[in-house]
Amino acid sequence: MKKTPERIEALAAEYVLGSLRGAARRRFEQWMMESTRVRREVWFWEEKLGDLARDVPENQPPASVWNNIERRLWGAQEQPGKPARGIGRWFWPSWSMLATAAVLVLAVVLIQQPKPTGEQLSGAIVQANLEDPLWLVSESGTENLLKLRSVAASAAEAGKDYELWVVPENGQPLSLGVIPAGGVHRVRLSDEAREALSRSRTLAISLEPTGGSPTGAPTGPILHVTKLYSL
């Protein structure tokens, strides 16, 4: 299959939308690992579709909706000879005031907490048709640590290891070493890897011989590609 600009653009859009599945999705993820041009097209569509979601205007419901909610909550208690209506009227504003007070207290606590000195990225490595993610990923910008917590990942086949890669905006993927399928695994990021990850926010996992790729570049199939997001 030729990597024409038109085909790359179409496949990138399908990939971001999630409609590219199966072998076609895995093949396209291999293209992403091999080509800066393909990765840029994917990132373009992520930004483009993200802008569409942000441009959707807020739609305030009419006042009648809230009146119907109140009527459903308290209307059934409005029976002659019973003080339920009075209780409902007393409880509702009191509950609202308590909720408002709780929000104010929470806001003060958040303001008083020290702000993090570095950006933190997080995400999940998932596989289609699975309810749980394979790994959860979190990163600390202050300690240069990347933590992967296994959730539903299964062990690699005999004679193979999973290898984690940073996929930079330009150049070849950077290896972060092999990762286990179980437990919690921590990776110390080099300055180069930290810089590349902060720019691209993209990780990939390939299937390699035991001990990792012998060439310093992915040699096996690319199993997963994931995008991290700022906290």
3-state secondary structure of 168: coil
Tell me the C-alpha to C-alpha distance, in Å, between residue 163 and each of 1, 67, 135, 219: 27, 57, 13, 10
Across 150-155, average pLDDT: 88
Across 11-37, average pLDDT: 80
Is 211 a residue whose pLDDT tops 90? yes
Most confidently modeled range among 9-18, 37-46, 101-110, 165-174: 165-174
What is the pLDDT, as a whole number, of residue 85? Answer: 46
β-sheet bridge partners, residue 172:
none
* Least confident among 117-131, 135-149, 209-223: 117-131
Residue-range domain boundaries for the chain = 117-231
d(CA 174, CA 166): 5
What is the pLDDT, as a whole number, of residue 164? Answer: 95
Is 224 a residue whose pLDDT tops 60? yes
d(CA 138, CA 145): 8
Mean confidence (pLDDT) of the chain = 75
Across 65-91, average pLDDT: 54
Across 41-61, average pLDDT: 65
Q: Which residues contact 28 (CB under 8 A, 6 or more apart)?
A: 11, 12, 15, 20, 38
Domain 117-231 has CATH 2.60.40: yes
Across 126-138, average pLDDT: 76
Is 98 a residue whose pLDDT tops 50? no
d(CA 202, CA 123): 10
40 confidence band (pLDDT: 50, 70, 90): confident
DSSP 143: T
Please give the model's pTM, rounded to 2 decimal places: 0.55
Helix locations, the chain, DSSP H: 5-17, 22-34, 36-54, 63-74, 84-112, 191-200
Proportion of the chain above pLDDT 90, given as a percent: 22
